Structure 1
Amino acid sequence: MHGKQIWRLIPFLEAPGNVQMAIDRWLLEQHLSGQHPPSVRFYTWSPPAISLGYHQYKYPEYWQDLVWQGQKLDLVRRPTGGRAVLHQGDLTYAVVISGLSGNRTQAYQKICEFLIQGWRQLGVDLHYGSAGRGYIHNPNCFGTATSADLVTADGGKLIGSAQLRRGGAILQHGSIRLQPDASLFAEVFGTETFTCVQISQNLSVEKIIAALIAAVSNCFGIDLAVQPLSQREWEAILVQPRWDVGS
């Protein structure tokens, strides 16, 4: 009788966006080289940041000078594709996995299953968005909802995800909008409609993460081993190229 596969759960981390992106990329490379099990983690961006998709080179110049509550917003490039995401009042998840069969959409849906299940446990029903290719002209990831995104029954987009494939390994990470500031959102993306999902005040970040961690174990049929990044791992992560954009 085989035991369950064990994934690594890296504890919640609050850090600058360039550090978070370096960790995600490093986890993918380590897993691809066979030196690291599949892994999952949850994190936030401090200071708040705008992340650009790997191939997104057009963005307003003023994004480099935005300030919110006395803090300058970071501008960071993701290793994944997609469009700009504002990371303020959100929670980000990252999953590194291999061995998924099927095309990109099927891989998204296999990974997103834990998000749907976890939020269902929290009383929020999510389904996939339905935007077609027209979204490509919208610089804002949360302006439209594609089949890789999860929306609520009233159409509010709660989670936007992006993926990077290397060989048979996949990094998928995504932003879960919990308490975004509507005025900052308007300052970054202009006057477009801001459909904010109303999250119950009783749902702390800790409670949300706990539900999502339980759903990961259940959906993938695995056990999770909590293991913080070691000093040696931190050193390897921080010598990588930086993910800052601009100056």
Structure 2
Amino acid sequence: MHNKQIWRLIPLLEASGNMQMAIDHWLLEKHLSGQHPPSLRFYTWSPVAISLGYHQHKYPQHWQNLTWQGQKVDLVRRPTGGRAVLHQGDLTYAVVTSGLSGNRIEAYQKICEFLIQGWRQLGIDLHYGSAGRGYIHNPNCFGTTTGADLITKDGYKLIGSAQLRRGKAILQHGSMRLQPDVELFAEVFGSESFSCLQIPQNLSMEKIIAVLLTTASDCFDMQFSVQPLSEDEWQAILALSQPTE
């Protein structure tokens, strides 16, 4: 038996988008500097938010005034690329690791393997999307699919991911659309043709996470050490989470 690499698992966390992005960014920086093992975490966004890709500076004016269930929809900038993602009724994963060989797409696919295997066990077959011509002009990350996206055989995009590389370290995070509010998606992206995948009712977030943790430990050949963020770590992360413009 070889000694499996130990990854840190940070328990499911609900927080604002700025805070979640600061945590992901902090995990990447700490891992890059050799002070932190690879890590995996799952989280949700509260309040509901639209996350903008790092380089995405054009977006519809009305996004600044959206509300959902009486609360303002947050606009948050991600440290990763890609286009806008609406975070409502979704579950986000984040992987921070290093030492993956290959180009950007190969790294994506190595990381996405645990998602494909996990969702297959949950009864949903996923495969990679392909970049169509509409990609560049579509501000909506879920409106088009690229090789970084995981879609069902009917073309429903379940998971959209984005990546940031720093040296040998990679942060990849992605949104899994579990119970999207069709009206809110239409209000944000103006897409009347929004199709919704019926996630089986018995699939709780806890069950999804449990299955994905099992496939992650297989795919990355590692085992988890569960460690919530400490008080000191929260202080360091808070310093990073200054609101965006």
User: The TM-score by the shorter chain falls in which range?
Assistant: over 0.9
Instruction: Give the Cα–Cα distance (whole angstroms) in 2 for the partners of residues 120 and 203 of structure 1.
Output: 13
Aligned to 1:182: 182
Query: Is the counterpart of residue 15 in structure 1 residue 8 in structure 2?
Result: no
Aligned to 1:219: 219
Residue identity matched to 2:48: P
Q: Which runs of 4+ in 1 moved over 4 A?
A: none
Aligned to 2:159: 159
Instruction: Give the Cα–Cα distance (whole angstroms) in 2 for the partners of residues 235 and 245 of structure 1.
Output: 19
Does the 8 A contact of 2:151 with 2:157 survive in 1?
yes
Does the 8 A contact of 2:18 with 2:241 survive in 1?
no
Question: Scaled by the length of structure 2, what TM-score is found?
Answer: 0.98
Q: Alpha-carbon deviations, 1:195-246, whole Å to 9, x = none?
A: 222110110000000011111101111001100000000000001152x444
Could you say what secondary structure the match of 2:136 adopts? helix
Instruction: Give the Cα–Cα distance (whole angstroms) in 2 for the partners of residues 192 and 245 of structure 1.
Output: 30
Does the 8 A contact of 2:50 with 2:74 survive in 1?
yes
Query: Is the counterpart of residue 72 in structure 1 residue 109 in structure 2?
Result: no
Unaligned stretches of 5+ in structure 1? none
Aligned to 1:235: 235
Aligned to 2:27: 27
Equivalent residues in 2 for 1:82-231, closer than 5 Å: 82-231=82-231
Equivalent residues in 2 for 1:52-67, closer than 5 Å: 52-67=52-67
**Fraction of identical pairs, as percent:** 78
Instruction: Give the Cα–Cα distance (whole angstroms) in 1 for the partners of residues 181 and 221 of structure 2.
Output: 37
Instruction: Give the Cα–Cα distance (whole angstroms) in 2 for the partners of residues 197 and 149 of structure 1.
Output: 15
Could you say what secondary structure the match of 2:76 adopts? strand
Aligned to 1:45: 45
Q: Alpha-carbon deviations, 1:109-162, whole Å to 9, x = none?
A: 000000001101111110000123530110000001111000011110000000
Please give the root-mean-square deviation of Cα atoms over the aligned residues, in Å.
1.0
Q: What's the CA shift for 1:192?
A: 4.4
Instruction: Give the Cα–Cα distance (whole angstroms) in 2 for the partners of residues 75 and 104 of structure 1.
Output: 27
Q: What's the CA shift for 1:73?
A: 0.6
Residue identity matched to 2:187: E
Q: What's the CA shift for 1:166?
A: 0.2
Structure-2 change in CA distance of 1:245 and 1:133 (3 Å): farther
